[in-house]
Structure formats: structure tokens, C-alpha cells
Amino acid sequence: MAILMLTSYDLLHSKDFWSRQKVQKMAEILRFSASFVCKGADFLMQ
């Protein structure tokens, strides 16, 4: 996961606008799925 974050960070600061857009979309999806997984884990822990 940390590697993913670093890679997307590098791409966000690259000059290619379109790849930056794509990375932001991917980051949103990752953030959403991560929060979903966390909620599921919390639910299972109870």
C-alpha cells in the first residue's frame, strides 16, 4: 500500500496532465475501497 501511495504521489507531481487526472481517479477509488474495508473490519471486530 505504501508503494502505491508513493507511486501515485510521483505521478501527481509529473507534468503529464492526463496521467495526473487518471491517478486522482484511482486515488479516489482506492480511498473509497480502503474506507469500505476499514468499516467492514470494524463491523466484524464487534
Summarize pLDDT for 4-45 with one digit per residue, the tens: 555 666 665 666 666 778 888 988 999 999 898 888 888 888
What is the reported pLDDT for 17? 61
Question: Which residues have a Cβ under 8 Å from the Cβ of 28 and sit 6 or more positions away?
Answer: none
| pLDDT the model gives residue 4 | 59
Q: What is the pLDDT of residue 7?
A: 63
- How high is the pLDDT of residue 22? 84
Q: How many structural domains does the chain have?
A: 1
Residue 41 cell numbers, joined: 473490519
Domain that holds residue 6: 2-45
Query: d(Cα 34, Cα 6) in Å, to the nearest integer?
Result: 16
